[in-house]
Every structure is written in C-alpha cells, then in structure tokens.
C-alpha cells in the first residue's frame, strides 16, 4: 500500500440536528423511524433504529434559526427499507396517526416516500426496485432513466392496493414508471432532455402545473 492511499470510511454513521423544537423532533424520529433513545437529557437525544449507539443526534438549541425555504445544503436523508411490504406498512402506520408524505415517486432505482420533520428536514423512506446495482444499471441502459431521472409520481394508496393484488416489486416499478399510479390530476411530464438546468425547480413547476404540489 502506498503511503498516500486513501482509507475510506466504512459508512455514514449518523446525522446531527440542531433544533429549537427539541421535544417535537425527538418524538418525530421515535414515531417515524421507530428510534429508541440510547442517551437523553435536556440537552441531547441520541436516537438509533439499529445496533449503533446513535444514528440521529438531536441537540436542544432554543436560539437556532428557522431554515430558509431555498437554503442550500442538505435536502434530505434517505432511509432504506427491505422492500415494499415494510415501506407500505410504515406508510399506513404513519398515515393513521396523521403523518403523511409530501411526495411519493418512483425514481427508477428506488420507490421513495418523502416526509418532513418538524423543522423541515427531509426524510426519504425508500426501498430498492432492483435486486442489485448490476440489474439497475441494465435497466438504466434502456434510456428510461435518462429521459426522466427525477421520478414518476405515484399515489401511495393506489400503489399499495395494486401491490397487494400479488405483484412483485419489479412489476410494480414498471407499472409505476408507465404512469399507472399517477396522483389524481397529474399526467406524465414531458421528458426532461437531456437534463433540466434546475431539476428541483423543474419538478416543482410540473407539480404546480397540475395543481398537485406545494406552492
Ligand atoms: Fe434521495
């Protein structure tokens, strides 16, 4: 090994959030991700959903400022589920207590439901549509992803209902990409060729145009 070899980290370990809504934030992550507190006092909450001592650290900082809507930086953190059964059961559990996603889409590689925590930080709850990277790459070579790398939106209720008629995740994904589960009032967007200069603005404009998105 040469002396300047880069030793890579093993994985992303945790996120650290400053908040002035300490109680609401720690309650949200316990509810949504099923986190348990490894350590908590009036200053910090160390939360984890697995064997790590913390995955989400929340700091009680009453002097912190609200996020600006167009602030640069981190948009969301993605959390991986084993498959559609787990994501859909989580969606229903949260829906039944009034926690709803603000965006559900088939990105190609993943089926993703997006939520916001009480401070406005994004969470992407997702599962992989393909069994491995090679299979995903094979599909990407077909051109569908290049034509639409943002996603085809889905109505979660219709998606779940159809999944439970006996489809597997790949069949569901192909139907999602065809637009079979588009939310009420939405139509397939014109292809973004080759890639929109402002993908987020592009996405928001499509959603506004069909009256299906936030202002
Ligand atoms: Fe993401």
Which domains does the chain possess?
11-62 (3.10.180.10), 75-215 (3.30.720.110)
**Model confidence pTM above 0.85:** yes
How far is it, in rounded angstroms, from Cα 215 to Cα 204? 8
Q: Distance, CA 78 to ligand 1 centroid (Å)?
A: 6
Q: Give φ, ψ of 138 to 5 degrees.
A: -60, -45
Q: Residue 24 Cα, ligand 1 centroid: separation in angstroms?
A: 24
Structure token pair of residue 51: 């064997």
Q: If you measure from the C-alpha of residue 210 to the centroid of ligand 1, how many angstroms do you get, rounded to a whole number?
A: 23
Per-residue pLDDT of the chain (215 residues), as tens digits, is 556 899 999 999 999 999 999 999 999 999 999 999 999 999 999 999 999 999 999 999 999 999 987 788 898 999 999 999 999 999 999 999 999 999 999 999 999 999 999 999 999 999 999 999 999 999 999 998 988 888 899 999 999 999 999 999 999 999 999 999 998 887 776 544 444 556 566 555 555 444 444 43
Query: Could you tell me the distance, in angstroms and rounded to a whole number, from the CA of residue 128 to the centre of ligand 1?
Result: 12
C-alpha to C-alpha distances, 41 to 26, 34, 47, 55, 60, nearest whole angstrom:
11, 19, 12, 17, 9
Distance 135 CA to ligand 1 centre (A): 19
């Amino acid at each position: 090994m040469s002396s300047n070899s880069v030793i890579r980290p093993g994985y992303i370990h945790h996120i650290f959030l400053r908040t002035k809504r300490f109680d609401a934030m720690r309650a949200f992550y316990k509810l949504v991700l099923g986190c348990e507190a490894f350590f908590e006092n009036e200053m910090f909450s160390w939360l984890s959903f697995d064997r790590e001592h913390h995955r989400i650290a929340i700091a009680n900082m009453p002097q912190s400022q609200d996020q600006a809507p167009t602030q640069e930086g981190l948009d969301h953190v993605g959390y991986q589920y084993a498959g559609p059964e787990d994501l859909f059961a989580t969606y229903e559990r949260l829906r039944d207590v009034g926690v709803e996603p603000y965006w559900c889409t088939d990105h190609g590689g993943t089926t993703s439901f997006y939520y916001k925590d009480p401070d406005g930080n994004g969470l992407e709850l997702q599962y992989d549509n393909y069994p491995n990277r090679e299979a995903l790459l094979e599909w990407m070579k077909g051109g569908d992803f290049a034509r639409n790398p943002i996603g085809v939106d889905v109505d979660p209720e219709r998606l779940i209902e159809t999944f439970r008629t006996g489809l597997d995740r790949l069949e569901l994904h192909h139907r999602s990409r065809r637009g079979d589960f588009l939310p009420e009032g939405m139509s397939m967007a014109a292809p973004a060729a080759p890639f929109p200069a402002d993908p987020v603005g592009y996405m928001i404009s499509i959603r506004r145009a069909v009256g299906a998105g936030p202002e």
